[in-house]
A and B are shown apart, each in its own frame.
Chain A
Amino acid sequence: MITLGHYLVVSGMLFALGLAGVIARRNILIVYMCLEMMLSAANLALVGFSRFHLVNGLPDYTAQSLVFFTITVAAAEVAVGLAIIVALFRTKQSVDVESVTKLQG
């Protein structure tokens, strides 16, 4: 029997995968993809809680509204972030995170 716990563990594992990618990878585009993965993992936990927090016998649609807002913000964030990455590539000719060291002092 599949319980809410199963969904939460899958969500947690997906988040952990994304976190490992953000820390370990050096290609800034892949770091960005891993960020998207972490956002979606949080969405899975939210939808799981929404399904099992029954209001009048229906899922709690407040949580699903929050997921809707999260997806919208993530889409806007990807557009802006990729524009920044393109601008970065034009000045550095590289997408390696270690080529950006200007703020290191």
Chain B
Amino acid sequence: MPPLLFYLLALITLGFGLMVVTGRNPVTCALSLAASFVGLATLFLSLDAYFIGIIQILVYAGAVMVLFLFIIMLLDIKAEEGKQMNLPAIISGVLLAVLLTLQIIAVVSSTAMAKQSTQSAPLELAAAAEKIGNAALLPTITNDLKTGTLPDIKLIGFTLFDQYGFHLQVIGLLLLVGTVGVVVLSKREKGGAA
């Protein structure tokens, strides 16, 4: 991808991320977080992860942020004004963040794998079609690879259901337990003495 586009998207992601951390009004923070997630989703798209990019927007920017905004407005939380800042916490937070960033930059700059780019390591769709075509994969995946398109969702679906079918069911159970848990949590409080 063009370097300028990458830097623009990284700026959107990190800039709105900074607004989440520094914002006074919770509604501003929530909307900034949604914008930051959209920037992150486009970064996923630039890494040829189309399915992950789409569900990032659908689940995070859609469902999760609506839930956050709903709770903020339900509880009617005002912007924190006039409160004195917690100076030691702010100093330690900024210090830790800077230290962590410097460490990650140091590690990344000394790793050989991190020097790969989408130009130096392109996807080899035609070669993949030949290699996979012999294995017992779905014919639709091989056909897509032969025409030069990346069947992203089909490959993720194949991986999920072929290798991680059990885990997928455990995740389904987790969502069910989560739903029941939320109902129980909200109901007991409402009943009070009951």
Q: Are B67 and A62 in contact (CB under 8 A)?
A: no
**How big is chain A's contact interface, by range?**
35 or more
Q: Across the interface, which residues of B come within 8 angstroms of A37, CB to CB?
A: 17, 20, 33, 36
Contacts A17-B97, A73-B171; A54 near B121 (Cβ below 8 A): yes
Q: Are B44 and A44 in contact (CB under 8 A)?
A: yes
Nearest Cβ on chain A to B185's Cβ, whole angstroms? 4
Q: Across the interface, which residues of B come within 8 angstroms of A99, CB to CB?
A: none
Q: Are A69 and B111 in contact (CB under 8 A)?
A: no
Q: Are A69 and B167 in contact (CB under 8 A)?
A: yes
Q: Are B67 and A78 in contact (CB under 8 A)?
A: yes
Residues on A lying within 8 angstroms of B by beta carbon are 1-10, 12-27, 29-30, 32-34, 36-37, 40, 43-44, 47-48, 50-52, 54, 56-59, 61-62, 64-65, 67-69, 71-80, 82-87, 89-91, 95
CA distance A59 to B171 in the complex (A): 24
Pick from B115, B167, B175: contact of A5, CB under 8 Å: B115
Judged by DSSP, the binding face of A is helix
Residues on B lying within 8 angstroms of A by beta carbon are 1, 3, 6, 10, 13-14, 17-18, 20-21, 23, 26, 29-30, 33, 36-37, 40, 43-44, 47-49, 51-52, 55-56, 59-60, 63-64, 67-68, 71-72, 74-75, 77, 80, 83, 86, 89-90, 92-94, 96-98, 100-101, 104-105, 108-109, 111, 113-121, 123-125, 127-128, 131-132, 150, 155-156, 158-160, 163-164, 167, 171, 174-175, 178-179, 181-182, 185-186, 189
Q: Are A87 and B189 in contact (CB under 8 A)?
A: yes
Task: Specify which of A75, A82, A91 lies most central, judged by the most chain B CB atoms within 10 Å of its CB.
Answer: A82
Nearest Cβ on chain B to A104's Cβ, whole angstroms? 16
CA distance A87 to B80 in the complex (A): 21
Nearest Cβ on chain B to A59's Cβ, whole angstroms? 6
Q: What 8 A-B pairs have minimum CB-CB distances, sorted nearest first?
A: A57-B124, A12-B104, A24-B93, A5-B114, A23-B93, A20-B97, A76-B178, A16-B97
Contacts A19-B93, A40-B37, A82-B67; A71 near B98 (Cβ below 8 A): no
Q: Across the interface, which residues of A come within 8 angstroms of B29, CB to CB?
A: 29-30, 33
Q: Are B131 and A56 in contact (CB under 8 A)?
A: yes
CA distance A43 to B104 in the complex (A): 16
